[in-house]
Amino acid sequence: MDRTSVWRKDTSIAKCKELDADLKTDTAIIGGGMAGILTAYLLKEEGINCVVLEEGRIGCGQTENTTAKVTSQHNCIYDTLIQERGQRIAKQYADANQSAIQQYRALIQKLNIHCDWSECDACLYTKEQAEILKREGRAAESLGIPTRFSEYTELPFPVSGALYFEGQARFHPLKFLQALSAEINVYENTKVIKLDGNLLLTNRGNIEAKKVIFASHYPFVNVPGYYFLKMHQERSYVIAVKGAGRVQNMYLGIDEDGLSVRPYEDMLFIGGGGHRTGENIKGGQYRRLYRAAQRYWDGCKMTACWSAQDCMTLDKVPYIGRYAQSKSHWYVATGFGKWGMTSSMVSAMILTDMICGRNNPWQEVFSPQRKKIKQMGALANEGGHAVRGLSGLKPEAAGELRCTHLGCRLTWNPEEESYDCPCHGSRFDKNGNKIDGPAQCGLGEKRRKK
């Protein structure tokens, strides 16, 4: 079975032009995924001249492989946020994500976008940790998010607890991008290779921009910013099954074997099998998901499967704001932790306000420059991975493949036939071509067929 998502199979977005001359703009956005396109649209609404530079096609990064739940329910984040950063900061996170849902709703109505927008509840379930969900429910309520606790779901197995967030939604991400990208200025097949202050060097010409936004999923300029020290990537897998019956709501299990479930047309999308990128040396993720699906939804048939990865920050809160203190005209939107639909909208709203010189009420919680002592342990953990990845014999001597980002040792992922980097999550196909960043080029001379 090929690994194309249902979204990509049933939608084609009209080709955009490629850059064919040098140009000047107010704002250049690197990346035409959900974050880049939404930010470009909101900036355009403010009358700001901006261009999106996309190395492939619109939505071709992680966005085409999402499950597209539009929700402020980001696993069990609120109780932890209150404990670690206090009620005021946690409320910024809750308000930003609840507002993101409203902003999607308003935009879809305003532009009359047919993107299968469907409002429903988002539910966290557990077979064994009901107390955690009760606590999360109290935390979310204290921040103004309506929730309800129950012991029942539509799922075909018993749970000990289910926490419902009301007024959430789901949609078709590429139908949405298709409509929105018609409103803005996008250059496809235009890869940003290097930045020199205000100048962006691409494979097709140079762009002079007063402001630059990195919406490239993983920001690829290492210094300043140092995102490689404070982020890693995690992959997970999705199967689409038919013959499983229907559910109204969206689900996410918080236990180790918990599943992500959402309906689309006559299918259920079932997700799981998450792991740090580079740590799938045994494979078997799709097989395990399908086995779980067949156990719970007797007779269901898999009709599609795909996977994606996302950037995980040290404290599970995205980095949205200034790229680095020393770069006052560079901005970033990254680290969405597998919650990039609302996080992309939050990024678009915050960055638009910043670029327009307005204060945004949620800026502080997402600031990439936030300091936090408790993060030191996580930072050490990221550093440990990098040291392990970098250590060992010289690659030529060991016959190993090394990542073109920072030189970490790559591992073979048999499931997806790719070489993956456990340090920062870059991926390369079996011929050495780059699939995912932060690496910016393929394995070149070192390429080797499996």
Site residues for ligand FAD per CB under 6 A:
30-36, 53-56, 60-63, 66-69, 191-192, 215-217, 220, 236, 238, 271, 308-310, 336, 338-342, 344, 437
Q: What is the 3 state secondary structure string of the chain? A: CCCCCHHHHCCCCCCCCCCCCCEEEEEEEECCCHHHHHHHHHHHHCCCCEEEECCCCCCCCCHHHCCCEECCCCCCCHHHHHHHHHHHHHHHHHHHHHHHHHHHHHHHHHCCCCCCCEEEEEEEEECCCHHHHHHHHHHHHHCCCCEEEECCCCCCCCCCEEEEEEEEEECCHHHHHHHHHCCCCEECCCCEEEEECCEEEECCEEEEEEEEEECCCCCCCCCCCCHHHCEEEEEEEEEEEECCCCCCCEEEECCCCCCEEEEECCEEEEEEEEEECCCCCCCCHHHHHHHHHHHHCCCCEEEEEEEEEEEEECCCCCEEEEEECCEEEEEEEECCCCCHHHHHHHHHHHHHHHHCCCCCCCHHHHCCCCCCCCHHHHHHHHHHHHHHHHCCCCHHHHCCCECCCCCCECEEECCCCEEECCCCCCEEECCCCEEECCCCCCCHHHCCCC
- Tell me the closest approach of the beta carbon of residue 376 to ligand FAD, in angstroms: 26
Q: Which residue sits closest to ligand FAD, CB atoms considered?
A: 340
Give the residue with the Cβ less far from ligand FAD, 30 or 443. 30
- Tell me the closest approach of the beta carbon of residue 145 to ligand FAD, in angstroms: 16
- Tell me the closest approach of the beta carbon of residue 163 to ligand FAD, in angstroms: 17
- Tell me the closest approach of the beta carbon of residue 374 to ligand FAD, in angstroms: 24
Give the residue with the Cβ less far from ligand FAD, 71 or 411. 71
- Tell me the closest approach of the beta carbon of residue 404 to ligand FAD, in angstroms: 13
Give the residue with the Cβ less far from ligand FAD, 61 or 128. 61
- Tell me the closest approach of the beta carbon of residue 35 to ligand FAD, in angstroms: 4
Give the residue with the Cβ less far from ligand FAD, 60 or 130. 60
